[in-house]
A and B are shown apart, each in its own frame.
Chain A
Amino acid sequence: MKLKLNINNRYYNANIDADESLLDVLRHLGFKSVKKGCDTGTCGVCSVLIDGEPILSCQFLAARAEGHKITTVEGLGEKADEIIDVIINEGADQCGYCGPALVLTTYAMKQELKNPTVEKINHYLAGNLCRCSGYEGQLRGIKKYMGVE
């Protein structure tokens, strides 16, 4: 089936299978920042934003995404750099595989949480697994970005 997807404020035409995941379609279209990890809705590395909300693209139908605004980390531009910088400054970029999803989820968290705390940040990011298990460094950087002591 044919559909038109709004990705990072640009329209892309795609010819997809009815049951194809948004993850596979995004990667076919060249958005390689969207990683394929567990592919079963557990690890969070395939996270993208749909209308500003983080979702798992491995379990989101590409067909359902038509008519919505999809944002990958490429679409955040300088807003992504701000988050990447605080993580790098703590030496927490590590292998980088979980990075794009972590940046997107952190960006969504900043828009959503009015009074962030360490507990709320940990809860919000519980679905973003890091295979290097470097959570402490990431959290130090993200706390600074969120303005939490």
Chain B
Amino acid sequence: MRFEKYIRPQNFEEALQILKSDQNSVILGGTTFLRLSDRKYSTGIDLSDLGLDFIKEVNDQIEIGAYTSLRKIETDPIINKNFGNLLPKSIENLIGIQFRNNATIGGAIFGRLGFTEIITALLVLDCELEFEENGKVDFNEFISNWNIKRDILKKIIIKKKQGKSSYKMMRNSSADFPILSVAVSNFDTIKIAVGTRPSIAKLSEKASQLINSDNNKINEAVNLITDEFKFGDDLRAGKEYRKNIAPILVKRALQEVLI
């Protein structure tokens, strides 16, 4: 990515004003796309000085600042003692430690990229995003609709809940992007998300509905997965291959959370 000007605003008002007044400006996340994209922008807005690098427990929820690195999330004790390690498991195989020290959770979410595993994991949690202008927005709604494009993502808010979760993925080599990712949680209800199809992760409706109505219907629920989701080809795997492994990963994850 290219940009002519670099600005590091000292407050949110200033950052939002630049973002709104210049439609060709961009908020910089972990800049992991610095050499992977040739898109040109007028201004790169760096929010490093706005105190968005934090993980904290606030009453019954965990708040993660948008500029928190994926590596910090992977190793943070608060994150590791909640949600059955779901979030660290969805990050720990991404490229290498150096990459994960650069990449931010805000960039991972706002980019809405198909291979972003943490989106698969966050979908099965009770999660909200807080924006400077739009306030709080449901995570699933943002991922499904992408209805907010020119705003500042400040933090991710996750409700703490008791229960089990499981994260499954398949990749060609240990530090590559995955060819499929699956997250399942069993807190108040069972939630199933399938990602890297290779399109962006999505929550299951039919399979989730069936397994919530009867926890013994694992095989029946798993059989719905291939019809419920669209799978595609990319350089890592073919559509048919993904279609075949998706039910297996979902079944394994369901068995883990229902034991």
- Are the chains A and B members of one assembly? yes
CB interface residues, B 165-209, toward A, < 8 Å: 174-175
Instruction: For the complex formed, measure the closest distance between the CB of B76 and the CB atoms of chain A, giving whole angstroms.
Output: 13
Q: Does A124 contact B (CB under 8 A)?
A: yes
Residues of B within 8 A of A41 (CB): 32, 34-36, 95, 99, 102
A60 touches B31 (CB 8 A): yes
Q: Specify which of A1, A21, A60, A126 is in contact with B175 (CB 8 Å cutoff).
A: A126
Q: If A1-B6, A105-B97 touch, does A60 touch B102 (CB 8 Å cutoff)?
A: yes
Interface mask (A1-28 → B, CB under 8 Å = 1, otherwise 0): 1000000000000000011010000000
Closest to A127 in B: B96
Contacts of A126 in B (CB 8 A): 95-97, 174-175
List B contacts of A61 (CB < 8 A).
6, 28, 31, 34, 44, 46
Within 8 A of A (CB), among B78-113: 92, 95-99, 101-102
Given the known interface contacts A19-B1, A19-B2, A41-B99, the answer about A58 and B34 at a Cβ–Cβ threshold of 8 Å is: yes
Q: What A residues does B99 contact at CB under 8 A?
A: 41, 56, 59, 127
Contacts of B28 in A (CB 8 A): 61, 64
Q: Do A55 and B95 touch (CB < 8 A)?
A: no
Q: Does A63 contact B (CB under 8 A)?
A: yes
Q: Please name all residues of chain A whose beta carbon is closer than 8 Å to the beta carbon of B102 when the two chains form the complex.
A: 41, 55-56, 59-60
Q: How far is the CB of B246 from chain A (nearest CB, A)?
A: 26
Report how far A124 CA is from B32 CA in the complex, Å: 19
**Contact status B98-A21, CB under 8 Å:** no
With both beta carbons as reference points, the residue of chain A lying nearest to B32 in the complex is identified as: A59
B:1-17 near A, CB below 8 Å = 1-6, 8
Docked-complex contact A19 and B3, CB < 8 angstroms: yes
Further pairs besides A18-B3, A42-B95, A56-B102: 19, Cβ < 8 Å: A19-B4, A19-B44, A40-B35, A40-B36, A41-B32, A41-B34, A41-B102, A44-B96, A50-B101, A53-B101, A54-B98, A55-B101, A58-B34, A61-B34, A61-B46, A63-B8, A123-B92, A126-B174, A128-B96
A interface vs B, CB < 8 Å? Answer: 1, 18-19, 21, 39-42, 44, 47, 50, 53-56, 58-61, 63-64, 105, 123-128
6 CB-based A-B contacts, threshold 8 Å: A18-B44, A19-B44, A61-B34, A61-B44, A61-B46, A124-B97
Residues of B near any A CB (own CB < 8 A): 1-6, 8, 28, 30-36, 44, 46, 48, 71, 92, 95-99, 101-102, 174-175
A-B interface, 4 closest residue pairs, ranked by CB to CB distance from nearest: A127-B96, A18-B6, A63-B6, A59-B34
